[in-house]
Amino acid sequence: MTGLNIVVGVAGGIAAYKACHLVRFFTERGHSVTVVPTESALKFVGAATFEALSGNPVSTSVFDAVDQVQHVRVGQAADLVVIAPATADLMARMAAGRADDLLTATCLVATCPVVVAPAMHTEMWWNPATQDNVATLRRRAITVLEPAHGRLTGTDSGPGRLLEPGQIGEAALAVYAGAQIPRDLEGRKVLITAGGTQENLDPVRFIGNRSSGRQGFALAEIAAHRGAEVTVVAANTDDLPNPAGGTVVHRVLSARDMADKVGEVAGEQDVIIMAAAVADVRPAHQAAVKLKKGADSQALGQLELVENPDILAGLTEIRSTGIWEKNPVIVGFAAETGDDGATPLDHAVAKLQRKGCDLLMCNEVGAGKVFGQDTNSGWMVFPDGRVVDVLPGSKLEVAAQIMDEVVELMPPLSS
């Protein structure tokens, strides 16, 4: 996906400096960017900065380039409009249908996807007026992302922090590619595991895998934007930024750590998605000091391994007893390679039958595939034998496809 005409709108908030990184995110991927700031935004970042980064002139007023009807032309030519940061004032003007500057006029003219990334203090975000305006924009098919929780201006902290530029850019491109982000998970609790577990051999070495956690965090992003209360149990995730909204992230190391934490919260969930790459085995004995070549060569050369708990199978077994508060939809993942006897998809079908989950996402892994990559693909497999192809796309696009199927599997919310 290259060569899009992207309008980056910038409102007047302290987070306006992050828009510079967002512009670079898009230009480095081969897109043409036109920055349309408000007058207030230029008090934080000057026009020269945006012009240098985008390679295009910057305007704020509907009276600029009147001979070219610029207040209409910019929106008409856009393939995608991304506003970051979007202040409470800007969203209020958008909701009211105002067109008193170039940015709001562009939004009124645009027929392409419009993605809004809010940034403001917590009290402003939760103010009923702002929430009503957000609901109005979403009802009009404008995608309003959930803000991050974290440090705000001064010593304040809470919801209202602007998402990181990469998170905004990936979400916007996913929306352009067709990813749906409806508010169909409001009132739901979603538990997601992510990353690769690590099993210590000694204080230095461990048994692990190449999972980066990006797909699990992408699922958390989509679930949060769709209104869910999200909990992530994360092993190694390459220091990824926390997903959007109020996502709670529990950090763990080993498979047993993950099993313990998942077990603590599983019974209250509406959806459990086991996207983590859990190590199948661990060393039978963990050395208290580093094992040395020579002195400990026998221990290193004859490593004794034992199986880790099967977290996914354990969850489906507990669910079958009916002891949980809820009856969650359970989704598994299978990272497979083919062999002489079966294809990756064949292995996934067999795994689904063994695990007893409601949906299994299968990836074909190998050199340069899936782990650590920006894209994903594969198949979604269901107990009734249905197989849905997941075409190559960003991990957010794949996450949106998975969540679409999850929503179809969920029972209605009880009143």
Domain ranges within the chain, ordered by starting residue: 5-177, 189-409
Give residue 7's pLDDT band: very low, low, confident or very high (50, 70, 90).
very high
pLDDT at 370 over 60: no
| 14, 190 contact by CB (below 8 A) | no
pLDDT at 293 over 80: no
- Between strands 80-86 and 229-234, the pairing is unpaired
Mean pLDDT of all residues in 271-294: 89
- What per-residue confidence (pLDDT) applies to 44? 97
Q: How many residues does the chain have?
A: 415
pLDDT digits (tens, 9 = 90+) for 77-91: 999 999 999 999 999
Mean pLDDT of all residues in 53-78: 84
Dihedral of CA atoms 22, 28, 30, 33 in degrees, nearest 10, equals 30
The residues carrying an active-site annotation are 209
Give residue 385's pLDDT band: very low, low, confident or very high (50, 70, 90).
very high
According to the annotation, is 189 in a ligand binding site?
no
251's tokens: 């950090």
Average confidence score pLDDT of the chain = 92
- What per-residue confidence (pLDDT) applies to 359? 97
According to the annotation, is 257 in a ligand binding site?
no
| 223, 239 contact by CB (below 8 A) | no
Distance between CA atoms of 219 and 247, rounded to whole angstroms? 11
The radius of gyration computed from the CA coordinates of the chain, to the nearest angstrom, equals 24
Return phi, psi of residue 91, to 5°: -65, -35
- Percent of the chain exceeding pLDDT 90 equals 76
According to the annotation, is 328 in a ligand binding site?
no
Q: Which of 278, 300, 291, 296 is nearest to 355 (CA)?
A: 278
Distance between CA atoms of 225 and 167, rounded to whole angstroms? 12
- Please state which architecture CATH assigns to domain 5-177: 3-Layer(aba) Sandwich (3.40)
According to the annotation, is 355 in a ligand binding site?
yes
pLDDT at 297 over 70: no
189-409 belongs to CATH 3.40.50.10300: yes
| 237, 211 contact by CB (below 8 A) | no
According to the annotation, is 102 in a ligand binding site?
no
According to the annotation, is 312 in a ligand binding site?
yes
According to the annotation, is 292 in a ligand binding site?
no
Give residue 335's pLDDT band: very low, low, confident or very high (50, 70, 90).
confident
According to the annotation, is 37 in a ligand binding site?
no
Distance between CA atoms of 204 and 319, rounded to whole angstroms? 38
According to the annotation, is 311 in a ligand binding site?
yes
pLDDT at 31 over 60: yes
* 189-409 has the same fold as 5-177: yes
pLDDT at 54 over 70: yes
pLDDT at 372 over 70: no
Count of H helices and E strands in the chain? 14, 19
DSSP string, 93-154: HHHHT--SSHHHHHHHH--S-EEEEE---HHHHHSHHHHHHHHHHHHTT-EEPPPEEEE-ST
- What per-residue confidence (pLDDT) applies to 93? 98
